[in-house]
Structure 1
Amino acid sequence: MVVLATKCYLEGDARGRALDGMHSLVDNEVGDLRVEWTVGVRDDGFVQVDLGGADATVAENALAETWGEIVAHDEGLTRGETHVGTLESWDDDGIVLDAGTTVHVPADELGLGVGAPPQVVERFGLVQHLPMQFVYGGESGATDGDTATGADSGGNGPDATRLADAERDRLYDWQRGPGRVTVNSATRGEVRATVNRAGHANDIVTVERLGLTEQSIVCAEGTDPPGLLASIGSYLPAEMRCVV
């Protein structure tokens, strides 16, 4: 069994479509292995894949490598190691990630330039539930119900919880490109269909999958991200932000 660092928080038919899509994504990843699987959702919304068969361990490792893994409650986070959590909230003090336990990344440890966290969220086009990598700085073994804030004192410093370098690099790369629109609450197929329906198929390069229902629309040169967002916004009941 592996718990992936992506959530399914949709309801009704949308939830069913998302989980059907997740089954296909697992098939693409491990379908050639000697393994059987079922896809489900934990009470906290994280996607769980139960695997069996001769290659189950190989399959678990492959899925964890692609999606990131939420550590078991009885193991907890490991100090100094990189983990993945989903973006849950933000305020002037920092951002909060869900990594199976609540993780607080202080504002000074974001490493994404000037501005308070809400300004950073807007500037980099971050949406709720976006999977993000962080380096845990708290005590080893933080478990569900704990709040992982950083050093033993809970403050900033050399041991504070911070965004991983790879995460910072990814977000800065977004800004260097031609522009993006990030979306949650929709599968990649739904976002592509929406872009086509709105008549913008030629205005984008691709739709990049960030999580099961978090996507990034990569704009073509000359496409105005705010204009694209305005055009497709009425078709998608989603949170959307621009990267310009």
Structure 2
Amino acid sequence: MVVLATKVYVEGDARERSLDALRSLVANEIEDLDVEYTVGVRHDDFAVVTIEGDDEVVARNLLREAYGEVTPDFEPGETYVGTLEGWDDEGFVLDAGEEVRVPADELGLGQGSPVQIVERFGLVQHTPMKFVYGGDAGGDGDDSESDTDGETNAHRLADEERDRLYDWTRGAGRVNVNSATRGEVRATVNRAGHARDIVTVERLGLLEQSIVCKDETDPPGLLAAIGSYLPAEIRCVIP
């Protein structure tokens, strides 16, 4: 079994559509392997794939590489994936199967409070993010531990994650959305008459997408155009 670092938190018909989308994504990764699999959702909304067959080890590794894995065990200094569950003046709170708090001074995303950083980088709740675990192995998810020298050994955003977010601010602009599959976001952009104003819809997680704008497209204008069609959290990234 692999617990993927992406969540299914919508309900009703939207949940069924999300599970259908998840099945398609999993099939794209492992359909050529000699395995049988089922897709489900854990009690905390994380997606779960149960795999059996001769190629099950390969299949699990492919899914871990594509989506990250929620694991019960953490090793200090290793990189993991958690979903962005909240933020306040003290930092970010990620869900990696347990609460992981990344202090404000370990975000590494420039000046400003965590709330201002969320706005600047257009972050929406539940976005999968890579972090480096800084506590003791098997710790309780506190935001920091003290090492033998008495120094703070806090969790921090991974360098790869910081680079990704900075790249967002160097492009033509983006509109980030949660609570919708990639197909639903694409259909919404088309319905609003803005298909020619975007480059692509980039998948961040199962239900978190990033609409990459063309150079001449105004991200706030695109947000205003699609906002009424999507019951979602939506934020802009403005270069």
- TM-score when scaled to structure 1? 0.95
What corresponds to 2:23 in structure 1?
23
Name which of 132, 140, 165 aligns with 2:159: 165
SS at match of 2:33: coil
Q: Give a deviation string over 1:35-58, Cα, whole Å, max 9, x none.
A: 111000000010000000100111
1:157 is displaced (CA, Å) by 5.4
Q: Residue 217 of structure 2 corresponds to which residue in structure 1?
A: 223
What is aligned with 1:102?
99
Q: Pick closer, same or farther for the CA change 1:92–1:40 going to 2, 3 Å.
A: same
Partner of 1:192: 186
> Following superposition of structure 1 onto structure 2, how do residues 55-74 of structure 1 map, counting pairs within 5 Å?
55-71=55-71, 73=72
Counterpart residue type for residue 221 of structure 1: D
Secondary structure in 2 matching 1:78: coil
Deviation of residue 159 (structure 1)? 2.4
- After TM superposition, give the deviation of residue 78 of structure 1 in Å: 1.1
The Cα of 1:147 is off from its aligned counterpart by 2.7
User: Is the counterpart of residue 182 in structure 1 residue 179 in structure 2?
Assistant: no
Name the SS for the 1:27 alignment partner: helix
Q: Aligned in 2, Cα 1:21/1:234: closer, same or farther, shift over 3 Å?
A: same
The amino acid of 1:105's aligned partner reads V
Q: Secondary structure at the match of 1:141?
A: coil
In structure 2, the partner of 1:120 is: 117
Q: Is the 8 Å Cα contact of residues 144 and 152 (structure 2) preserved in structure 1?
A: no
Question: Is contact 1:136–1:150 with CA below 8 Å preserved after alignment?
Answer: no
State how far apart, in whole Å, the 1-side matches of 2:151 and 2:202 are. 35
Tell me which residue corresponds to 1:10. 10
Structure 2: 5+ residue stretches without partners: none
Once residues 152 and 196 of structure 2 are traced to their aligned partners in structure 1, the CA distance between those partners, rounded to angstroms, is 47
1:152 CA drift (Å): 2.6
Paired AA for residue 193 in structure 2: G
* Aligned counterparts of 1:58 and 1:158: Cα–Cα separation in 2: 38
Distance 1:41 1:148 in 2: 26
Instruction: State the 4+ residue runs in structure 1 displaced beyond 2 angstroms.
Output: 150-153, 156-159
Distance 1:123 1:187 in 2: 23
SS in structure 1 at match of 2:201: strand
Match for residue 239 of structure 1 among 227, 233, 239: 233
Q: Quick one: which amino acid aligns to residue 94 of structure 2? A: L
Instruction: Say how many residue pairs are matched.
Output: 236
- How has the CA–CA distance of structure 1 residues 157 and 206 changed in structure 2, closer, same or farther, with 3 Å as cutoff? farther
From 121, 128, 131, give the equivalent of 1:131: 128
Spell out, residue by residue over 1:157-207, the C-alpha distance to the aligned partner (whole angstroms, 9 max, x if none): 562210000000000000000000000000000000000000000000000
Distance 1:201 1:157, change over 3 A: farther
Q: Which letter does structure 1 place at the counterpart of 2:98?
A: T
Alignment TM-score, normalising by the size of structure 2:
0.97
